[in-house]
Chains A and B, each alone.
Chain A
């Protein structure tokens, strides 16, 4: 444990990633507190998704460190980070298209359930009970994100916005300590966005830290406790939403 443990869930220290000569993320540092919603905003191409990939382990950083609950996880694989409770969604939705919505969510319970080949073949009572519990909780999660009536539809039949909500439900199934959402409101209509905003607040109040990348300023201003602004790979501002709205550097970046 380092000095940063305690109320800090995630700490990014000087995270840098260059692709050839292009520095996509340049010495970005920030912290995500427990029980809070932190939003990363910035113009297109600012390096937000690369930053997300550095944190989730999809892309290794060129330099800098990522600490999760006080442990250095910089070079861990995505599945190892997921096992620690760091769960992400994707900007381009990655569903399991052949499976139904509820089956998609059930895959999300992987880390929160047990059993391998023997459990599958012999199906002892404990495993049957676990399967029944997973089924109930998966349907409850779909209901929570507003997809209760679409539970048995194949994922491929869902609209773009529904697919995004399904990805959130699937991520929640893994019971994350830190939930990372990459543009969750993209493709959502007004009602769906409002529902998502209140869901994100509920998730944070339950003790799950939320880190989101978002273009929808309305959603960011309504949900975020802290906003990190990046432009050309650098962090140019950080603070509460109200303060960020008036920050001259942010206004310059957005309005050119």
Chain B
């Protein structure tokens, strides 16, 4: 996945996926096991829960779950593009049509702790419980699993849901749990998993490590490493030093370390980019009296020098953003509908009679964002808008635009925001629909056309038509004047150059497929 130019036309369940994805053709190769091989990777925090219904998600929870729990599909590569592929737990997964997905589990895969074999009943139970879980949005149109045999079944959706394969099933929320074991602990669990099934079993010590060793009862193909140690290293710079000292084989790096490594890599090292699914923008409250005039908002759009933000705050390591759809996803734009043009911005400010306008820009109190805010402050000073930068801690920051938390949203003027996305373009748009005004749509606008397009985009299975929908939705957002697109920060890993790595587009390590080369 190095030097990815991610463009995923194949990314979603489409008619193109209607044919059976046979394991032989698409399964990411598991290297043959080698004795005594230990892999040491960085986990940036302790896993807090492995329950797919009630966990935070992301790294390192998914990294561990993919090694110890069954799933129908994993992320892999097809024709050079990251997409879903059948997992080592299935004979096949077939997208029959837009609402029916057939699957057959491998036989003889046993749950630990005596909970028997993995069956279709477990799959049906796992997905049904997700519809009432914290992650129920991923299962918005899931209807049921039709059990056609002990190891075969069909997932039935009430309506087409384009992100279902690549977001719902391939991400951590598609993990299958043991029905009997989960019910035996009251229906949910955290880090003490009642039964697991995978090539590895784990033990963990808080603040130190998650150690994965081979599962003696695993009947499937054996991954390359005997032992995988996820060492908990919370500090980015410590992780970089540990990698340079040879104590880690693979570690995610910060933008600081990335800038350093981009100039000069440590010997025998390589950088691999997983994806850039974060999107950051400068937001404006369209209902604030100072910003109700769209000419002022459009002036701000044209006054902010995106290139300076990327160079100054991110050392040139972030991707430029042209909308909410991240690089590699259907609907990613190649340019914004406006350009950096201080002259035009100044003219708009003069036309609106807003020269000398005083605004407050709020941002999370971290290095990159405060630097970004300072650059924007200088840009806006050039067009006669005086900005006060106000760094805010996480607690109050995330409440600034929420109506349920008081009247603070009424005073909100400008802010720098960054959201994360899964590997499907529907995800970022969900935060800007009408229902989200005063929740996560802090810009406080709505549009009938946008609402209609959002509903269409989720159900559309043709990638090119879907791309058109998302292009238009980003245009609508941009035309409100409430957004200045800033960056997509990449998820980058440094690793031994003789280590083959496979990363999920959302930034987790797919350790099953790591091997020495």
| Chains A and B bind each other | no
